[in-house]
Amino acid sequence: MKRVIAFIMMLLCMALLAACGTNAAAETEAPAEKSVAAASVPTAVPMETPAQPAEATETEQPASDVGVFDLERGVVLLNSGYEMPVLGIGCFQLSQEQAEYSVYWALRDGYRLIDTARIYGNEEGVGRGIQKAIDEGFVTREEIFVTTKMWTSDFDKGAEAIEASLDRLGLDYIDLMILHHSQPRNDVQAYQAMEQAVAEGKLRSIGLSNYYEPEDFDRLVDATTIRPAILQNETHPYHQSVEMKEHIAQVGTVLESWFPLGGRGNTQVLFSDETVSSIAAAHDKTPAQILLRWHLQAGNIAIPGSSNEEHIAENYDIFDFELTEEEMARMTALDKNERFADY
């Protein structure tokens, strides 16, 4: 009997050992099964995304929003991740004193975009106007979008040119710096200096001005890393920049118009155009207001310049009406592909 009991006990032990071995094998293989399952999930390919602004929220803007004008808020989202006002004050041909007052009046009246350039010789005045508006509580620095431009003679010393503009403006950073003209000899070098300044936090967005051929634009884009946020060219109803606008949109670059009213000496040509004047009469607006509203609805940032306090206020008063589709079509039909300037 003892032998029978011992035999039964031995069989029970063997069964228990076999069960333990099976469980151990199952635990050992479980991670392997998880690994196989994980490997079958497609791995996302990293995408090239623009650097986000320091104050940006965690919610990323869809790529489809880049370049879309929000006229209720008066801004457009740039491919750099920053929002830019779509209507600003230009400072071309203004003295230091004129620039100071024009910028101050503009910020007081609601403008948030300021456009100047090293070659204009008024960056110091612009800086004083900004500081005066801040000191009087009309605006904060974070609410202002400041643009300046690097002149061609500074392209060989881009880093120094950027520092000099910062000093003259009295700012810690510049919202947008633009190369003032195409110059194949060394504009890539200058643009790369601006790219480095973006990495250092001195510039937030960078762009180009006076690049009128797709091939010239592509030459620089293909040789650099950061895509231009803005292309600033002469644009108005007689020269609507259709080809360049469509071309640069492929890389998320937005068109900005200098001479949006035709420029000094040419404004009356556009103001007296029968189409412009008749649409102005229909809306009880001035020809200048019709031209600027057309720019915004057409997707052009506009920076009309003025040293006249009343005209500055008038130019900003364009957010309380809208051109109809028929009126926009009439304005589009004015295109002659003719520039007023030769530079």
Catalytic (active-site) positions: 120
DSSP state of 112: -
Asked if 91 and 120 touch (Cβ cutoff 8 Å), the reply is yes
Task: Give the Cα separation of 21 and 16 in Å (integer).
Answer: 9
**Tokens 């063997």 belong to residue:** 14
Asked if 108 and 315 touch (Cβ cutoff 8 Å), the reply is no
Task: Give the Cα separation of 160 and 280 in Å (integer).
Answer: 46
DSSP structure string for 203-270: EEEEEEES--SHHHHHHHHHT-SSPPSEEEEE-BTTB--HHHHHHHGGGTPEEEEESTT--TTTHHHH
Task: Give the Cα separation of 101 and 81 in Å (integer).
Answer: 31
Structure tokens at 315: 């130019």
Exposure string of 284-302, with b = 16+ CB inside 10 Å and e = fewer, is ebbbbbbbbbbbbbbebbb
Asked if 114 and 92 touch (Cβ cutoff 8 Å), the reply is no
Asked if 316 and 90 touch (Cβ cutoff 8 Å), the reply is no
Task: Give the Cα separation of 225 and 210 in Å (integer).
Answer: 20
Task: Give the Cα separation of 290 and 284 in Å (integer).
Answer: 10
Side chain identity at residue 162, one-letter code = I
Side chain identity at residue 301, one-letter code = I
Task: Give the Cα separation of 194 and 176 in Å (integer).
Answer: 10
